[in-house]
Amino acid sequence: MIKDVEDSVVTTHTTSDGSVDVEKTKKSGMVRPILLTVLVLILAGAAYFFWGGQKGAGDKKTEGKKARSAPVNVAIARIQDVPIEVRTIGNVLPYSVVNIIPQVGGQLQKVFFTQGQNVKKGELLFQIDPRTYEAALEQALGNVARDQAQVKSAQANLAKDEATVGTLQANVNRDYSLARLAKTQMSRYDKLVVEGAVSHEQSDQMTTNAATAEAAIEADKKAVENAKEVLNADRAAIQTAQGTLRADQAMVDNARINLGFTQIRSPINGRTGSLNVYEGNVVTANSTTPIVSINQIEPIYVTFTVPEQNLDQVRKCMVDKTLTVQALIEGKRKEKFIGSVTFLESTVNTTSGTVALRATFPNSDGKLFPGQFVDVIVTMPPDGKTTVVPSSAVQTSQQGNSVYVVKPDNTVDFVTVDLKRTYGDLAAIGSGLRAGDKVVTDGQLQLTPGARVDIVKQPAGGQDQGSAPGR
């Protein structure tokens, strides 16, 4: 072993008996430069061997890649009408929400449904203790019966007093007759007393009789007037009794309504939420906290937004009834629900630059659930013809949306395009492509600009002479 220590060289070797002899000699001044030179040459050779070999292999690999044709599928760009399709996220909302609040107080005796159950309109949900309200109804019914008797009594009094008035009126008529007779006799006796046929006493008696008859008429008239006043009092008594009857009848109706409120029924078809009050608890009328809420989910709403630039098209399609809306549930993309737009917000959200819409879906199977987020596809008629390619042909690159275009010599160019919109499996191209251009739809990952391709699959009726490898 040789070790460099300052300016000396130390040499060690092992003797036959196993001991180590150390010899120290003076190192020549040329030893260090020679060693450094040798070390540099060794490293340079290793680097050349490694990198040179790699470069050669890489060049061969690149040449092989350029020489090999990549198998691809292609499609022909064509001119076609593509409907306008806006994809967005929507939120499912119940068609209506009813908070069940008791209208009478009492102990909650029975709950007739389970939480989260679907209920029908008119179905019995709760029973509040009805005994207090039954007693109030019976009391009100008793008051009505009493009032009805009072009305009948007042009507009987009126009938009796009307008969009295009739009798008194007859007396007046009789007195008029007697008065006329008395006046006739008085006139006759006045003539006879002048002739001396009767005495003055007899003539005076006739005069007295006539005056008495007139007085009787006046007395009977006063009696008739008094009887008529009694009739008015009887009629007032009847009206009072009838008013009391109506008031008590209203109390009966109110008591019957309150008794009906002890049974709480569902006002709509829907799904119940969680209970806030359980059996045995006392509820109060018109409390601020509902005992349960019911969501109407058939039909159901989906709210969503579309960009402001689509507003005019949306409004026009709503008028023409050509706007269609589909909802897709996350995880079940193949299952689409068809609805119709029933509401368009009157203002544009200046923060997001969108306008809100609401669509109504039948939801007869109940698969759309309140609070759920769904994919919404809004479709409108096409606004004109455009260049169309399969959406699988469009790639996203640093330059934007691009496609590989196959040239006549079966090499490809990477062309940047203006993607207007997509519709299903189709992509509408605004610029960058022309009708008849052949674009790669599958196999783009193995391509670079200028690469040679071998067309495995071409569209029906295509004139491509390419073939799959091995054909």
Percent of the chain whose predicted confidence (pLDDT) is above 90: 48
Q: Which residue has the higher pLDDT, 82 or 41?
A: 82
Residues 391 and 441 in one domain: yes
Radius of gyration of the chain (CA): 57
Residues 427 and 317 in one domain: no
Burial annotation 220-232 (CB, 10 A radius, 16+ → b, else e)? beebbeebbebbe
Residue 256 lies in a domain: yes
Residue type, 315: R
**Residue 217: predicted pLDDT:** 79
Residue type, 369: F
**Residue 164: predicted pLDDT:** 82
Q: Which residue has the higher pLDDT, 347 or 10?
A: 347
For residue 174, what are the CA distances in angstroms to 150, 207, 342?
36, 19, 85
Q: Which tens digits make up the pLDDT trace of 185-210? A: 777 777 776 777 777 777 677 778 77
The structural domain count of the chain equals 4
Residue type, 115: Q
Q: DSSP assignment of 207-238, as one string?
A: HHHHHHHHHHHHHHHHHHHHHHHHHHHHHHHH
Residues 137 and 256 in one domain: yes
Q: Which residue segment(s) compose the domain that 304 sits in?
A: 295-380
Q: Which tens digits make up the pLDDT trace of 389-402? A: 999 999 988 888 99
| Reported confidence tier of residue 171, pLDDT bands at 50, 70, 90 | confident
Burial annotation 137-156 (CB, 10 A radius, 16+ → b, else e)? beebbebbeebbebbeebbe
Residues 415 and 348 in one domain: no
Answer yes or no: is pLDDT of 110 > 90: yes
Residue corresponding to tokens 């064509």? 78
Residue 269 lies in a domain: no
Residue where one domain finishes, among candidates 261, 279, 311: 261
Residue 426 lies in a domain: yes
Q: Which residue has the higher pLDDT, 388 or 223?
A: 388
Answer yes or no: is pLDDT of 279 > 90: yes
**Dihedral sign, CA of 226, 228, 232, 235?**
positive
Q: Which tens digits make up the pLDDT trace of 87-105? A: 899 999 999 999 999 999 9
Residues 400 and 362 in one domain: no
Residue where one domain finishes, among candidates 322, 356, 380: 380
Mean local confidence (pLDDT), 65-87: 84
Q: How many helices (H) and strands (E) does the chain have?
A: 4, 25
Q: Whole-angstrom Cα distance, residue 41 to residue 43?
A: 6
Beta strands in 219-286 (DSSP E): 263-265, 270-272, 282-283
What CATH number does the domain containing 208 carry? 1.10.287.620
Residues 345 and 433 in one domain: no
Residue 285 lies in a domain: no
| Reported confidence tier of residue 252, pLDDT bands at 50, 70, 90 | very high
Residue 45 lies in a domain: yes
- Sheet containing strand 78-81, edge to edge, reads 78-81, 385-390, 426-431, 418-423
Which residues, other chains included, contact 132 with Cβ-Cβ below 8 Å and sequence gap of 6+? 106
Residue 100 lies in a domain: no
**Residue 62: predicted pLDDT:** 46
Residue 94 lies in a domain: no
Token duo for residue 372: 């759920």
Helix (H) or strand (E) run with residue 124 in it: strand 124-128
**Residue 416: predicted pLDDT:** 92
Mean local confidence (pLDDT), 261-266: 96
**Residue 383: predicted pLDDT:** 77
Residue 85 lies in a domain: no
Residues 353 and 241 in one domain: no
Token duo for residue 281: 């608890």
Token duo for residue 237: 């008594």
What CATH number does the domain containing 342 carry? 2.40.30.170
Residue where one domain finishes, among candidates 338, 365, 380: 380
Residues 159 and 222 in one domain: yes
Residues 371 and 404 in one domain: no
For residue 161, what are the CA distances in angstroms to 169, 223, 232?
12, 12, 10
Among 83-87, 167-171, 186-190, name the one with the lowest average pLDDT.
186-190
Q: Which residue has the higher pLDDT, 140 or 43?
A: 140
Task: Give the CA angle between residues 19, 24, 26 to the nearest 5°.
Answer: 165
Residues 391 and 414 in one domain: yes
Peptide bond into 130 cis (omega under 30): no
For residue 345, what are the CA distances in angstroms to 114, 166, 412?
37, 77, 48
Residues 151 and 234 in one domain: yes
Residues 346 and 405 in one domain: no
Answer yes or no: is pLDDT of 6 > 60: no
Instruction: Sort strands 70-76 and 453-457 into parallel, antiparallel or unpaired.
Output: parallel
